[in-house]
Amino acid sequence: MLLFNLLVQDWKKGLRSQGFYKNLAVSFILGIFAMYLAAILLFLGFSLHELLEKIHDNLNPMELFNGIMLYIFLIGLSFRFFMQQLNTFNMASYQTLPIKRATLINFFLLKPLINPINYFLLLVVVPFALQSVMGYYNEWMAFRFVISFVLMSWFNSLMAAFLKRKFGTSLLSFVTVIAILGSISMLEYFQVYSLFHISKSLFGFIVIKPLGLILPLMAVGIAFLLNKWFFSQNYYSEAFNKHTDGDKTYNADLSFLNRFGIVGEIMSLEIKLILRHNRTKSILYMSAFFLLYGLLFYTNPIYTKSSGMLFFVAMFVSGLLMFMFGQWVISWDSSHFDSLMTQNIPIRTYLDANYYLLLVFNVVCFVLTSPYFYFGKQIMYMHLAAFIFNVGVNIYLLLFMSTFNTKRIDLSKSSAMNYQGTTFKSFLIIMPIFFLPMLIVWLLTTFASISVALWTLTLLGTIGILLRNQLITLCVSQFNRRKYALAEGFREI
Amino acid sequence: MIKVSDLQKTYNGVTVLDIPALKIAQGESFGLVGNNGAGKTTFFRLILDLIEPTRGEVMIQNQKVMRNDAWKSTTGSFLDEGFLIDFLNPEEYFKFVGKLHHKSEGDIADFLESMQDFFNGEVLETKKLIRDFSKGNQKKIGIAASLLGDPKILILDEPFTALDPSSQIRLKRFLTDLQTQQNMTMLISSHDLNHITDICSRTVVLEKGQIVKDLQTNSYTLKELENYFAI
C-alpha cells in the first residue's frame, strides 16, 4: 500500500514538474514518434514469422529467435547500462518520515520495472508468439515464451542498475563493454564458438520444459538480491549517489589549446564542460552508437539506390558530433552565461571558439567514419561532399540557429531520453538542416546525375568556407540581437 | 565613469526601474540599498548589459554598454552563482579568467597568493569543483575572480550575505583598501545598512525602481537610513 503511495507521488512529481505543460508540443512530437516506432515494431512482430521461415535451414522460427535471444539480452543489458537513468527519487525527504527503509529500497528498485519502455519490445514478441510459437507448439509455450522475455527485461533492468551503481559509467567501462560485445560477435562470426547454439538450447529449455521458467525467475531473484545487498552495504544516500554524481574530473591535458589564445581557452572550457557533465557525456556515448548508423544503410540494397537517403546518412555520420551538440552550443553555457557575457570575451571571439569547436568535431567524425569508404567509391565521394557541406554550410546554420534555443539546460541530470530544454523550436531548427540537402541531392540526381548533385553541394560548401569571416559576422550580429532573450531565458530555472 | 541617462525597464507594462539621470564618478564607492524587488539587481544587470533597457542607456567611460564589448576589460562583477563556471575547479577558473585578461601564470599565482587570507585556506588546492563548494566559498571565488583583471569598476551584488563573520570583516577591509590604494570605482548593494555606510562614500536608496534618497555618507547617514526603513 505504502509502495503504491510512493509510486503515485512519484508520478505526480513528473506530472507537476514545470517542464511538463510548457513542453506540450515536444511531448506531442515525441508521442507521435513513439507511436510510429510502436507501429514499426508491431509490423515487425507480425511479419517476423514469415521472415524467419524464409531462412533456409532446419530450424523453426522460434528456435531461430531463441538463438539470438542471448544477443538481445547482452545488447539490451549494455544499452541499459549506459542509457538507463538511475532512480533519483529524493530519498532525504522520505528518510526522515516513519517509513521502513526496506520499503523505500523496494520502491527504488521496482519503480523502473513499471516504465513502459521495458515492454516496448513485447510489440514484436507477442504477435510472434501468437503466430509462430502457437503454430508450431501450443498456447502454453507461447505464454512461457512471452513471460521469459518479460523476465529477461526485468533481469536486465535490475542488473544494469546494480552494475551502474556499483561500477559507474566511466569511459573505461564503456570500452570494456564494447570490447566484450565485439569479441563475442567475432567469435560467432569466425565460428570459433557459437553463442547462438547456447542461446538456442538455453531458451529452448526455458520455453519447452514446464518448469523451465524457474531459471529466469531465479535470475531475476538474484539480480534483485544483488541490489538489496548493494543498498545494505551502502546505507547512506551519499554513498550510493557517489557514482551517479559524475563528479569525476577528467583532467584531460588540453594545454595544447593554449597556443590559440582566448579562442583556445574557451574551446578547452567547452571540452571540459562536455567531459564533466552526465548529460553531455551520455550524448558522447550515444554518438558512438550512432556512428554505426551507416552500417544499416550502406549494406542495405534498398537504400543504395536512393542517393538522397544515402547522402543524408553520409552527412549525418560524418557530422555526427556537430549535429548532436551544434544546436545547443550556446545553451550548454546556460548555467554560466552571465559569466561569459561579463568577462573580457568579445562576442566574436566567443562565436569563433564555438565555430572551431564544431570544426574539430567535424574533422574527428570525418576521420572516424572513413572506414565506410570500404563500401565503395560512391560512399567515399558522398562523405567528402558531405564533410565540405557540413563545414561550409551547416556549421553556420547551426551557429545562427542556436541563438533561438533560449531554454536553460540542466547539465547535471543525465542522460539519454532527456529532453529537458528541448522545445518545439529545436525540431523546427533541425528539420531543414537535415532534409534540405537530402532533397537537393534527390532532385539533382533525378534530373541530372549524382555527380552533379555532389559537386553542387561541394561548391556550396566551398563558398561557405571562403566566406567564413562574413558569415561569422552575420552570426555575431544575430547573437547580439538575441543576447538579451538568451540571457533571460537561461536565468529561468 | 558611469553615466546613466533616462534609464527605464518595463516588464509587461510594470516599470521596475526608472532612473532619469545618475552619474558615478571615478573612485566613488556607491552603495545601493532597498527592499526586495526595489530593482537593485535589475540596475546592475542593466549596467552589465545582461538585460535590454526599455528606454535610455548606460555609458561606461563614455561608451555605450549596449551590445558592446569595450567595457568588459575594465569592469569586474559578481552578482550571483551564474557568474561562476561551476564545473571547473577554482584554480582552473582563475586561470581561465586570468588568461582572458592576458595575465601570465606568474601574475595569476601572485594574485592568488594575495587572496590567501580572504580564502582562509578553504578554496585553493582542494581538487573540488566549484559547484561542490558551499555558498559562502563560491561567493569568495566569484569576488576574487572579479578582481583578477585589475578592474577600474567593480560591481558586487550583496557580497556580504552567506559570508561568515570573519570573512565579512576581511572583505570590508579589503574593499576599503582597494578604494584608497587603487581608487577603484565600486558599486555595492547590500541589505545590511551598517556594511554600506561603513564602506561607501555615497548611498542611494531604491524603492520600486525609483531613487528616493541619494546621500553622501556621514555620521548621520546610518541613523537616517534606519529611520527610513523602520515602518
Number of domains in chain A: 2
Considering the domain architecture, whether residues B158 and B58 belong to the same structural domain is answered as yes
Could you say which of B150, B176, B208 is where a domain stops? Answer: B150
Residue A344 lies in a domain: yes
Lowest mean pLDDT among A407-421, B114-128, B200-214: A407-421
The domain in which residue A152 lies consists of: 2-6+22-240
Residue A260 lies in a domain: yes
Give all strands of the β-sheet with B29-33 in edge-to-edge order.
B75-78, B153-157, B185-189, B29-33, B202-207, B210-216
Higher pLDDT, A406 or A167: A406
Could you say which of B118, B133, B150 is where a domain stops? Answer: B150
CA dihedral A113, A116, A121, A122 (to 10 degrees): 90
In B, which residues are within 8 Å of A487 by CB distance?
50-51
The domain in which residue B56 lies consists of: 1-74+153-231
Q: What angle do CA A320, A87, A232 make, to 5 degrees?
A: 130
Task: State pLDDT tens for residues A311-346.
Answer: 889 999 999 999 988 888 898 898 899 999 998 899
| pLDDT level of residue A13 (50, 70, 90 thresholds) | low
Task: State pLDDT tens for residues B52-64.
Answer: 899 999 999 999 9
* C-beta atoms of B82 and A335 within 8 A: yes
Considering the domain architecture, whether residues A344 and A479 belong to the same structural domain is answered as yes
Number of domains in chain B: 2
Measure in Å the smallest separation between the Cα of B173 and chain A Cα atoms: 25
| pLDDT level of residue A186 (50, 70, 90 thresholds) | confident
Q: Are B61 and B139 in contact (CB under 8 A)?
A: no
Reading the block at residue A452, the C-alpha cell is: 552533379
Distance CA A131, CA A51 (A): 12
Task: State pLDDT tens for residues A427-451.
Answer: 788 888 888 898 889 899 888 888 8
Closest CA to A62 of A213, A204, A205: A204
| pLDDT level of residue A16 (50, 70, 90 thresholds) | low
Residue A27 lies in a domain: yes
| pLDDT level of residue A244 (50, 70, 90 thresholds) | very low
Q: How many CB pairs under 8 A join A and B?
A: 75
Considering the domain architecture, whether residues A233 and A267 belong to the same structural domain is answered as no
Q: Are A313 and A294 in contact (CB under 8 A)?
A: yes
Residue A168 lies in a domain: yes
Could you say which of A240, A272, A294 is where a domain stops? Answer: A240
* C-beta atoms of B96 and A269 within 8 A: yes
Closest CA to B28 of B54, B65, B57, B2: B2
Spatial CB neighbours of A323, under 8 Å, sequence gap ≥ 6: A316, A398, A430, A433, A434
pLDDT at A15: 64
Distance CA B57, CA B36 (A): 24
Distance CA A137, CA B82 (A): 65
- Provide the 3-class DSSP secondary structure of residue A234: coil
Distance CA A408, CA A421 (A): 6
* C-beta atoms of A342 and B50 within 8 A: yes
CA nearest A476 in B: which residue?
Answer: B67
Distance CA A120, CA A38 (A): 7
Considering the domain architecture, whether residues B158 and B229 belong to the same structural domain is answered as yes
Stretch A179-194: mean pLDDT: 79
Is B173 in the A-facing interface, judged by CB distances under 8 Å? Answer: no
CA nearest A273 in B: which residue?
Answer: B87
Q: Are B96 and B88 in contact (CB under 8 A)?
A: yes
Closest CA to B161 of B113, B196, B210: B196
Distance CA A115, CA A108 (A): 13
Residue B109 lies in a domain: yes
Q: DSSP character for B66? A: T
Distance CA A207, CA A102 (A): 34
pLDDT of A483 strictly over 70: yes
In A, which residues are within 8 Å of B69 by CB distance?
345-347
Distance CA A49, CA A37 (A): 19
| pLDDT level of residue A474 (50, 70, 90 thresholds) | very high
Higher pLDDT, A24 or B181: B181
Higher pLDDT, B113 or A187: B113
Task: State pLDDT tens for residues A135-174.
Answer: 788 888 888 888 888 998 899 888 888 888 777 666 677 7
CA nearest A477 in B: which residue?
Answer: B67
Considering the domain architecture, whether residues A331 and A236 belong to the same structural domain is answered as no
Task: State pLDDT tens for residues B107-155.
Answer: 999 999 988 888 988 888 888 889 889 999 999 999 999 999 899 999 9
Reading the block at residue A69, the C-alpha cell is: 535471444
Considering the domain architecture, whether residues B68 and B159 belong to the same structural domain is answered as yes
Considering the domain architecture, whether residues A205 and A295 belong to the same structural domain is answered as no
Considering the domain architecture, whether residues A197 and A274 belong to the same structural domain is answered as no
pLDDT of A305 strictly over 90: no
Stretch A202-223: mean pLDDT: 86
Of B82, B92, B129, the CB nearest to A339: B82
- How far the first Cα of chain A sits from its last, in Å, is 35
pLDDT of A88 strictly over 60: no
* C-beta atoms of A345 and B50 within 8 A: no
Tell me the HSE value of B157 on the side-chain side, using a 13 A CA sphere. Answer: 18
Residue A309 lies in a domain: yes
Residue A245 lies in a domain: no
Measure in Å the smallest separation between the Cα of A261 and chain B Cα atoms: 8
Could you say which of B109, B127, B150 is where a domain stops? Answer: B150
Residue B112 lies in a domain: yes
Considering the domain architecture, whether residues B168 and B57 belong to the same structural domain is answered as yes
Q: Tell me how far apart the 2 most distant CA atoms of chain A are, in Å.
A: 75
Considering the domain architecture, whether residues B69 and B120 belong to the same structural domain is answered as no
| pLDDT level of residue A242 (50, 70, 90 thresholds) | very low
Residue A249 lies in a domain: no
Residue B205 lies in a domain: yes
Considering the domain architecture, whether residues A351 and A456 belong to the same structural domain is answered as yes
pLDDT at A245: 43
Considering the domain architecture, whether residues B136 and B179 belong to the same structural domain is answered as no
Considering the domain architecture, whether residues A308 and A186 belong to the same structural domain is answered as no
Considering the domain architecture, whether residues B95 and B39 belong to the same structural domain is answered as no
Distance CA A97, CA A106 (A): 16
Stretch A263-275: mean pLDDT: 89
Considering the domain architecture, whether residues B36 and B7 belong to the same structural domain is answered as yes
Considering the domain architecture, whether residues B169 and B127 belong to the same structural domain is answered as no
Residue A433 lies in a domain: yes
* C-beta atoms of A343 and B75 within 8 A: no
Task: Report the complex ipTM.
Answer: 0.85
Chain B contact probe: residue of A250, A336, A348 with most B CBs at under 10 A: A336
| pLDDT level of residue A211 (50, 70, 90 thresholds) | confident
Considering the domain architecture, whether residues B70 and B92 belong to the same structural domain is answered as no
Distance CA B127, CA A463 (A): 47
CA nearest A249 in B: which residue?
Answer: B129
Considering the domain architecture, whether residues B208 and B220 belong to the same structural domain is answered as yes
pLDDT of A56 strictly over 70: no
Omega cis (within 30) before A415: yes
Q: Which range in A179-183, A302-306, B189-193 is most confidently predicted, on average pLDDT?
A: B189-193
A423 to A406, A414, A436: CA distances (angstroms)? 9, 18, 21
* C-beta atoms of B127 and A247 within 8 A: no
Task: State pLDDT tens for residues A163-173.
Answer: 887 776 666 77
Task: State pLDDT tens for residues B146-182.
Answer: 999 899 999 999 999 889 999 999 999 989 998 888 8
pLDDT at A243: 44
pLDDT of B6 strictly over 60: yes
pLDDT at A397: 93
Considering the domain architecture, whether residues A35 and A124 belong to the same structural domain is answered as yes
* C-beta atoms of A265 and B82 within 8 A: no
- Provide the 3-class DSSP secondary structure of residue B229: helix
pLDDT of A355 strictly over 80: yes
Tell me the HSE value of A9 on the side-chain side, using a 13 A CA sphere. Answer: 14
Chain A contact probe: residue of B42, B44, B50, B75 with most A CBs at under 10 A: B50
* C-beta atoms of B100 and A262 within 8 A: yes
Which amino acid is residue A381, in one-letter code? Y
Residue B79 lies in a domain: no
Spatial CB neighbours of A481, under 8 Å, sequence gap ≥ 6: A403
pLDDT at A24: 66
| pLDDT level of residue A25 (50, 70, 90 thresholds) | low
CB atoms within 10 A of CB A383: 24
Considering the domain architecture, whether residues B120 and B28 belong to the same structural domain is answered as no
In A, which residues are within 8 Å of B89 by CB distance?
249
Q: Mean pLDDT for chain B? A: 91
Written as one string, the DSSP assignment of A164-191 is HHHH---HHHHHHHHHHHHHHHHHHHTT
Which residues 75-134 of B are in CB contact (within 8 Å) with A?
75, 77, 79-80, 82-89, 92, 96-97, 99-101, 127, 129, 131-132
Considering the domain architecture, whether residues A411 and A452 belong to the same structural domain is answered as yes
Q: Mean pLDDT for chain A? A: 82
pLDDT of B91 strictly over 60: yes
* C-beta atoms of A483 and B100 within 8 A: no
pLDDT of A2 strictly over 80: no
pLDDT of A116 strictly over 90: no
Please name the residue ranges forming H helices in A84-194. 92-95, 101-110, 122-128, 134-136, 139-167, 171-189
